[in-house]
Structure 1
Amino acid sequence: MINKHPKRSDEPVWWGLFGAGGSWFAMITPVTIFVLGILVPLGIIDANAMSYERVSAFVKTIIGALFVIATIALPMWHAMHRVHHGMHDLKLHTGVAGKVAVYFTAAFFSGLAVVFVFMV
């Protein structure tokens, strides 16, 4: 028998943030690490290009602010979704409390990213 009134799930929201975070972490983060962790220290990119004043000016633009927020927030949502489903794999069924805890953690750090970006 087909259920004509199925229960709505909130999983598409969490899977969407999980996918966005995983994609960001896989494509953008390695390039960021390569530029900031290898090219600048080796002198291939001038260190003055990464001065505090220039980076601060970049972060104050809408593109820069969104980049920094996404670099912090999206991988956090990805990681917390993995933790949530990893607990199920380990047979730690924490119910709604576990779900609230992991997603609150992601939301908290995302909020901190927003606050810190706009404080610069």
Structure 2
Amino acid sequence: MINLHPKRSDEPVWWSLFGAGGTWFAMISPVTILVLGIMVPLGIISPEAMSYDRAADFATSFIGALFVIATLSLPMWHGMHRLHHGMHDLKFHTGVVGKIACYAAAFLVTALSIIFVFMIK
């Protein structure tokens, strides 16, 4: 018999954040690491271009704030979703408590990144 009133799942929300975080981590983070971690220290990009005032101006602009928040929070959502399902795969069945703990940690990083962006300057 077909269940005409199936229970709604919250999994699409977590999978969308997982996918967005994985995509961001695979596509944007390497470029950010290349520019900030390799090109600036080697002098390929002028250190004056990465001065505190310029970086703070970028981070407080609308696009820059979204970039900083996404760079900090989306990979965290990806990692926490992976951790939650990885624990299940390893037979650590933490249930709802584990799910809440994982996603609360990702939410905390998201909230702190938003607070961080608004506290600059």
Q: TM-score range by the shorter chain?
A: over 0.9
Q: For 1:8-47, what aligned pairs fall within 5 Å after superposition?
A: 8-47=8-47
Q: For 1:75-90, what aligned pairs fall within 5 Å after superposition?
A: 75-90=75-90
Q: Is the aligned partner of 1:91 residue 2:91?
A: yes
Identity of aligned residues (%): 70
Q: 1:95 and 1:46 mapped to 2: Cα distance?
A: 50
Q: 1:95 and 1:37 mapped to 2: Cα distance?
A: 39
Deviation per CA, 1:61-101: give whole Å up to 9, x if none.
00000000000000000000000000100101111101000
* Unaligned 5+ runs, structure 1: none
- Aligned residues, how many? 120
Equivalent position SS for 1:5: coil
Stretches of 4+ moved more than 3 A in 1?
Answer: none
Deviation per CA, 1:43-77: give whole Å up to 9, x if none.
11000000000000101100000000000000000
Q: 2:41 and 2:85 mapped to 1: Cα distance?
A: 38
| TM-score under structure 1 length normalisation | 0.99
**Superposition CA RMSD, Å:** 0.4
Q: 1:90 and 1:67 mapped to 2: Cα distance?
A: 34
The code of the aligned residue for 1:106 comes to: A
Q: 2:94 and 2:45 mapped to 1: Cα distance?
A: 48
Q: 2:102 and 2:60 mapped to 1: Cα distance?
A: 30
